[in-house]
């Protein structure tokens, strides 16, 4: 009797263990998808048509009466909103010169499939500033994919030389600044998702969470992604006064501007964030979204078409589309990777960012797109902050939990957003459930299959009865 009970308990324990292993294996697939999703948006362009290969950046025009701010871009690129958000905010103030600077002036990837051309090389900057009669007042450091790799050494060495009186790190750009040794003994912040890793890597830094930005004198650091706008506005306040910061906030539609750092809700992983695992690991039919580049598009408008979809949600892939490089509203050269005439075969949707494209350019853009068999969707047909439209569209086309996760990763206040769409991705949820069940059944059946195989090889059935 005791032996039968013991065998039954062993079988139950084995089944429970099989289920736990199956769930863990299924979760590992999702986690692997996230790991891939974090690095994939930085992938460089491949097989770019010759017509798009050569890109020349317009020479920046510097006003000698204004201080100059340089936005860094690494050898292997940078996070798209970390670069374009502060760039747009600073340039919209009409109070400072702003330019992009990197180790080279060839196209480098921003996350999501967009290539930007830095306006000046690191070793050319001093000469450019001297010729214009202006000074470098600050440098903005975004998140980069190669913080500790040799490819980032020129950026680290340049930062160590402290070419600017002020350094502003945006999001995981704090890791770049930390790798240059500039945060030792200082107070700083970063993206909530990265803070634990940064605390472990740089224990000599006093890491602070729950705030939009930290001002530690000549070093300013911000929380994640869109908090970089708050940091850029605070930098403007220091360089040109509160009126310049308020003017820039109004022009870019940033209604969350405050003159103080302000609290940031403490973020951490919650049950609802499992949607990220589902999207990363099991959304195998992830749509490919083409983003049509048009001359004069706002930098934040451009970022909003890439980051929510191909950068943070794991719910889609994005790629820049167009027939030629274009120049943004404040003079950045950006390059498409896919010609418009290939869009019908290579993308599922064609988004067109930019308020101007949705109004003045709508008829011409629509005609061009329809001529190659695609229907354009104008992302910014309504006024408002650029990311509002993108997050609302993501809620409609994916689901509301995905849009909320994306807003959380962007560190964007979603309380006043109108997010409408599917409440739960039931079809997406079915895949990991079915996969976990399949794993569990397989693990439970392995011992039975092993006994059957041994019996076949010995010529006896598993029950011990003679083979008929």
| Nearest-angstrom CA–CA distance, 275 and 314 | 9
Q: Are 315 and 37 in contact, with CB atoms under 8 Å apart?
A: no
User: What 3-state DSSP class applies to 115?
Assistant: strand
Is 443 one of the annotated active-site residues of the chain?
no
Do the beta carbons of residue 134 and residue 69 sit within 8 Å?
Answer: no
The residue among 120, 81, 124 whose CA lies nearest residue 98 is 120
- In contact, 428 and 3? CB cutoff 8 Å: no
Dihedral (CA of 241, 245, 251, 256) sign:
negative
Helices (H) and strands (E) in the chain, counts: 17, 17
Q: Of the listed 22, 55, 166, 171, which one is catalytic?
A: 171
**Cα–Cα distance between 31 and 22 in angstroms, integer?**
14
Q: Which two tokens stand for residue 408?
A: 């959380």
Written as six digits, the tokens of 466 are: 């003679």
Helix, strand, coil percentages (3-state) for the chain, rounded to 5, are 45, 15, 40
Q: What are phi and psi of 20, to 5 degrees?
A: -65, -40
Question: Distances from the Cα of 382 to the Cαs of 103, 180, 242, 298, 393, in angstroms?
Answer: 38, 43, 28, 15, 12
- Give the long-range contacts of residues 450-453, CB within 8 A, separation 24 or more: none
Residues with a known catalytic role: 171
């Amino acid at each position: 009797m005791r032996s039968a009970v013991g065998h039954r308990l062993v079988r139950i324990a084995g089944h429970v263990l099989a289920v736990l292993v199956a769930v863990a294996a299924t979760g590992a697939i999702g986690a692997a998808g996230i790991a891939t999703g974090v690095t994939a948006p930085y992938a460089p362009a491949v097989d770019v048509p010759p017509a798009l290969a050569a890109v020349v950046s317009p020479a920046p025009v510097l006003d000698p009466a204004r201080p100059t701010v340089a936005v860094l871009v690494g050898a292997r690129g940078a996070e798209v909103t970390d670069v374009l958000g502060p760039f747009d905010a600073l340039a919209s103030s009409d109070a400072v010169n702003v330019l992009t600077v990197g180790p080279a002036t060839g196209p480098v990837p921003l996350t999501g499939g967009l290539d930007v051309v830095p306006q000046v090389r690191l070793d050319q900057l001093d000469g450019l500033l001297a010729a214009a009669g202006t000074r470098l007042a600050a440098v903005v450091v975004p998140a980069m994919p190669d913080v500790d790799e040799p490819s980032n050494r020129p950026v680290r060495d340049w930062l160590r030389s402290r070419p600017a009186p002020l350094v502003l790190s945006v999001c995981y750009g704090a890791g770049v600044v930390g790798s240059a040794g500039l945060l030792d003994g200082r107070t700083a912040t970063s993206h909530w998702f990265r803070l634990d890793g940064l605390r472990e890597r740089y224990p000599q830094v006093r890491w602070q969470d729950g705030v939009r930005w930290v001002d530690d004198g000549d070093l300013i650091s911000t929380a994640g992604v869109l908090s970089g706008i708050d940091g850029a506005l605070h930098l403007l306040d220091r360089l040109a006064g509160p009126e310049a910061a308020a003017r820039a906030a109004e022009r870019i539609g940033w209604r969350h501007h405050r003159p103080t750092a302000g609290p940031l809700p403490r973020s951490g992983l919650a049950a609802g964030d499992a949607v990220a695992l589902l999207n990363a690991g099991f959304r195998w039919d992830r749509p490919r979204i083409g983003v049509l580049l048009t001359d004069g598009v706002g930098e934040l408008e451009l970022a909003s078409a890439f980051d929510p979809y191909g950068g943070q949600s794991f719910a889609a892939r994005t790629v820049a589309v167009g027939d030629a490089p274009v120049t943004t509203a404040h003079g950045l050269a950006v390059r498409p990777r896919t010609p418009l005439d290939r869009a019908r075969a290579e993308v599922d949707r064609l988004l067109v960012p930019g308020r101007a494209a949705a109004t003045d350019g709508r008829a011409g853009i629509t005609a061009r797109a329809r001529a190659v068999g695609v229907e354009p969707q104008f992302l910014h047909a309504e006024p408002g902050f650029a990311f509002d439209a993108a997050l609302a569209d993501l809620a409609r086309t994916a689901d509301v939990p995905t849009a909320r996760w994306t807003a959380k990763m962007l560190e964007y206040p979603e309380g006043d957003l109108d997010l409408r769409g599917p409440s739960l991705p039931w079809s997406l949820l079915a895949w990991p459930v079915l996969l976990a069940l399949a794993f569990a059944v397989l693990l439970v059946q392995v011992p039975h299959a092993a006994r059957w195989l041994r019996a076949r090889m010995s010529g006896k059935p598993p029950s011990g009865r003679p083979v008929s």
